[in-house]
Amino acid sequence: MSIVAHDLRKHFTHRPAVDGVSFEVRDGEIYGLLGPNGAGKTTTLRMLAGLMRPDSGRALVAGHDMHREQRQAKAALGFTTGTTGLYERLSPTEVLAYFGRLYGLDEQLLSRRIEELTRVLGLGSLLHRRCGSLSTGERQRVSLARALIHDPAVLILDEPTAGLDVLASRFVAGVVREARDRGKAVLLSTHYMAEAELLCDRVGLLHQGRLLWEGSPDELKQQQQARSLEEAFLQLISVGA
């Protein structure tokens, strides 16, 4: 498994934000961590990405323990969130070159990766503008390119379509599917149930820091005799509350 969360726990001011969460994400799979705001999605993803240390439990990325082997784990990881910062005074080209060199890419490979990502993410018209002048959707495309610059085996995406319009959201979804089809393990969080139903191979449903259920969207709908994933989730919450 390329991503393993094992009994992750995190408390803030004596309140459990994440309370014993365990799940696995396979290569070539999109796994959606779903739930309302405050369910513990971002905290879980930040622990898996090495940005926050769990109170207990283990986070593994590409077989590496994120606490004991953080350098190796992060080398295999691409992470982005809606609050991922871009250097406002730099252009996307400069941002990608900077991060590519941090990951140890030589200049020839770096140039090739920037060309590939420019084509895949439609960055051509943005490359030489300052990041501070970009729209929300344009910034998200650059953030995705930054996460993908070193061609990581694992992607963790926190609310990748939050605040985007329909066209930008569809574009991001296409990039996520393409990463899955190339054999990458993709973990994403969202509270857009319709998006998750179309995009995810499996989902885990978080509520009040606990994983209530996991499986395919169709399995959950069948179990709850619901017409949509959103309806199934609401029914499950009412039972587990």
| Alpha-carbon span 119 to 175, nearest angstrom | 11
Report pLDDT digits (tens) over 68-92.
999 999 999 999 987 667 899 999 9
- The predicted pLDDT at position 239 comes to 63
Tens digit of pLDDT at every position of the chain (241 positions): 699 999 999 999 878 999 999 999 999 999 999 988 889 999 999 999 999 999 999 999 999 999 999 999 999 999 998 766 789 999 999 999 999 999 999 999 999 999 999 998 889 999 999 999 998 888 888 999 999 999 999 999 998 888 788 888 888 899 999 999 999 999 999 888 888 998 999 999 999 999 999 999 999 999 999 999 989 988 888 765 5
Sorted by sequence, the CB contacts under 8 Å of residue 110 that are 6+ apart come out as 96, 97, 100, 101, 149
Closest CA to 215 of 197, 231, 202: 202
Report pLDDT digits (tens) over 148-166.
999 999 999 998 888 788 8
- The predicted pLDDT at position 236 comes to 85
DSSP, res 62: T
* Domains along the chain with CATH numbers: 1-76+153-164+180-241 (3.40.50.300), 86-151 (no CATH)
Sorted by sequence, the CB contacts under 8 Å of residue 113 that are 6+ apart come out as 96, 100, 105, 149, 150, 151
What's the predicted TM-score (pTM) here?
Answer: 0.92
